[in-house]
Amino acid sequence: MKLLASLAIAITTAALAAPAAEAAPRVVALTPFSASTITRLGVRPVAIGQTLGGTDQYIGSLRGVPVLRLSHPLGPNLEQLAAYRPKVVLSSKTWQRGTPAMRRMGMTVYESDPNSVAAIGSETRAIGRVLGRTRAADQLARKIEADVAAAKRGIRSRPRVLVILGVGRTPYAMLANSWGGDVVRQAGGTLLTQGLTSPSGTARISDEIVVKRNPDIIIAVPHGNPGSISKLASYYRNNPNWRNTNAVRRNRVYVATGNSLLQPYPGVASTIRDVRRKFLKN
């Protein structure tokens, strides 16, 4: 009995002496990437930023989290943001003009929104460091990188592709330095964007340029108010100005109406598989 009592005292003493696991800070995640990433790290955000074009890539555990409206160029309304008492705000360069004011309010702000598949791993690890979840973040990053490598295996052909962001009826080519352009390139598409440059990753083009470049495949990504997406999708799917392209002649004009080619997500390997299966067929 004395041995058991001594053992119980020793266990209790050790438990009291051990440092308690640090609780996660209160986090607001303004981008789909950061919101989905921290949820996979076991951290539930107290609020998330709104996203245009749908929430099809959000994971189920984010349902019910309050949504903050975002306005260019500052991001969320500071009074509304402060009401959630965040310690950390995961933002992006899109909203960077609002960052100084958030920091003056005592919030830690980290801008993270990768525009390439290769950057997903490093940004996941960076968010892990900000939240004190380095081990979990490294494990998640390794899994994402392995999944991407598997999704890219066995590419048999590299068709010539134009990925077109349709802002209303105005077409923009998505370049290799855009999220959607890089995803299609990683999936095996050869982007017909030579000579086009833009720090934003998209370059205004005309229907005449589309015909001149003569893509084998056109992937149109309509962008606008949710109520207009179906009409825009129909317009791009049947655009008569592209009728002299290989893509139209071979019935290979596709429309992607979700968010997967517009904004980065941790589950990019699934997007690469979808692009290969639905569009590139390679």
The per-residue pLDDT for 34 is 94
pLDDT: which is higher, 245 or 226? 245
Domain boundaries, the chain: 27-151, 160-280
- Region 27-151: CATH code: 3.40.50.1980
pLDDT of residue 3: 40
The model's confidence at residue 282, banded by pLDDT at 50, 70 and 90, is very high
Q: What predicted TM-score, i.e. pTM, was given to this entire model?
A: 0.85
Give the pLDDT confidence score for residue 52 in this predicted structure.
Answer: 59
Question: Can you give the pLDDT at residue 225?
Answer: 74
Q: Residue 57 — very low, low, confident or very high, per pLDDT cuts 50/70/90?
A: low
In this predicted structure, the answer to whether residue 72 has a pLDDT above a threshold of 70 is yes
Crossing angle for the helix pair 32-40 and 119-131, to the nearest 10 degrees:
60
From the candidate CATH numbers 3.40.50.1980, 3.60.15.10, 1.10.10.10, 1.10.357.10, the one assigned to the domain spanning 160-280: 3.40.50.1980
pLDDT, tens digit (0-9, with 9 covering 90-100), for 136-193: 999 999 999 999 999 999 999 999 999 999 988 899 999 999 999 999 999 999 999 9
Rounded Cα gap, residues 124 and 121, in angstroms:
5
Average pLDDT for the chain: 88
The reply to whether domains 27-151 and 160-280 share a CATH topology is yes
